[in-house]
Amino acid sequence: MGTALEIGPDDVEVALTLTPTATATGRLLDEKGEPARRTRLRWGRRAPSSSVPDPAGAVVFEPRAVTDDDGRFTLPALIVGQKYEIGVRPEADAHVPSLGFVRPERPGPIDLGTLRVQPEGRE
């Protein structure tokens, strides 16, 4: 179960409605087409923020996700209707290579199929 809620500075009451969530699974291949073993993913959704000048908001990162030895991964507790960005977690403060997006339309499992890390400069 999960929910997403935007709270304004003048809101004095908030009601949370929990709904069933989705789960996305997939397989990640590296630039050579081999399973991306034990690769940390960086995934999350955009949330408006008055403290960030970017009008698109900031990315709120979700719980840790790591591929297994065959490159398979699971993104748990996706809120229906929210758009999630998926990328490879970089070493240090480098660019996050994008793998794409997922936006669950209903609760339950979503198969993202096979995703592939693009060679640098080819996203």
Number of helices (H), then strands (E), belonging to the chain: the values are 0, 8
Average pLDDT score over the chain: 83
Domain 24-115: which topology?
Answer: Immunoglobulin-like (2.60.40)
* Mean pLDDT confidence for 71-83: 93
* Mean pLDDT confidence for 88-113: 83
Confidence of residue 80 (pLDDT cuts 50, 70, 90): very high
Quick one: pLDDT at residue 57? Answer: 58
Per-residue exposure over 21-49, b if at least 16 CB sit within 10 Å of its own CB, e if not: bbebebbbebeeeebbeebebbbbbeeee
C-alpha–C-alpha distance, residues 8 and 22, integer Å: 27
Tell me the torsion sign for CA atoms 30, 34, 37, 43: positive
C-alpha–C-alpha distance, residues 50 and 27, integer Å: 36
Asked if pLDDT for residue 94 goes beyond 60, the answer is no
Asked if pLDDT for residue 122 goes beyond 50, the answer is no
Model confidence over 19-41: pLDDT tens digits? Answer: 899 999 999 999 899 999 999 99
Residue 24 CB partners (closer than 8 Å, separation 6+): 74, 75, 78, 84, 102, 104, 109, 110, 111, 112
Q: Is pLDDT larger for residue 111 or for residue 93?
A: 111
Quick one: pLDDT at residue 58? Answer: 62
Quick one: pLDDT at residue 3? Answer: 75
